Amino acid sequence: MRSSTWKNSLAALAALALIPASVTAHTVKGTHTGSVTALTNYSSGTFHGAVDIGAGGRCNYWGAETGVVGSVYWAVTIRTTGVVCNGNGSGNQNEARHAWASGWTFRQWHFIKTADSRSRTCDRCQVGNIGGTGNSTGPHAHLQQDKLGTKDTSWYKGYVSVGTAVTRAKTIGVLD
């Protein structure tokens, strides 16, 4: 191999080493059967910055699953243990969250505590039953990605709109 060809080959390999590995995208699926009731803004126009999936009034219905597909560690925080269907005050929502290495956090709120409400690594596991804990007007799942107080709304744009019917198989969005 000629010296200049060898040098060019080594330079090309070195350049490849500087390209960062791509971040694995994670698909977010429906947490239960229902419909999208709120997205970036509430119907009042107030900023919301998350996806709410209503449960059609069904409270304590079996099976609020984590929305993110792929094995991730879910830190579950239980702030109330009763069957709460229509809110018990801001800051009292039960939460399942995953913190990404990038600093972003994906959160799922409002479920009711069950024996499945525990911290663990899982792929689409149940975290509780459909509920309305925290600042809530009814049973639903609240799915939000944020970092240092800033909510990311790009992950669900183009996937769902208010009124979209949701099943556990429906793609709600993609986290990059």
Q: Which domains are seen in the chain, by residue range? A: 22-175 (2.70.70.10)
Q: With 50 as the cut, is the pLDDT of residue 153 above it?
A: yes
Q: What type of residue sits at position 80?
A: T
How far is C-alpha 156 from the chain's CA centre? 10
DSSP 113-148: P-TT-S-EEESS-EEEB----SS-SSSEEEEEEEET
123-144 confidence digits (pLDDT tens): 899 999 999 999 998 999 999 9
The phi-psi region of residue 129 (left if phi > 0; otherwise alpha if psi is between -120 and 50; otherwise beta) is beta
Q: With 50 as the cut, is the pLDDT of residue 11 above it?
A: no
Q: What is the mean pLDDT of the chain?
A: 88
Which percentage of the chain shows pLDDT scores above 70?
87
Place of tokens 């744009």: 157
In whole angstroms, give the CA distance from residue 176 to residue 165: 24
What's the pTM? 0.85
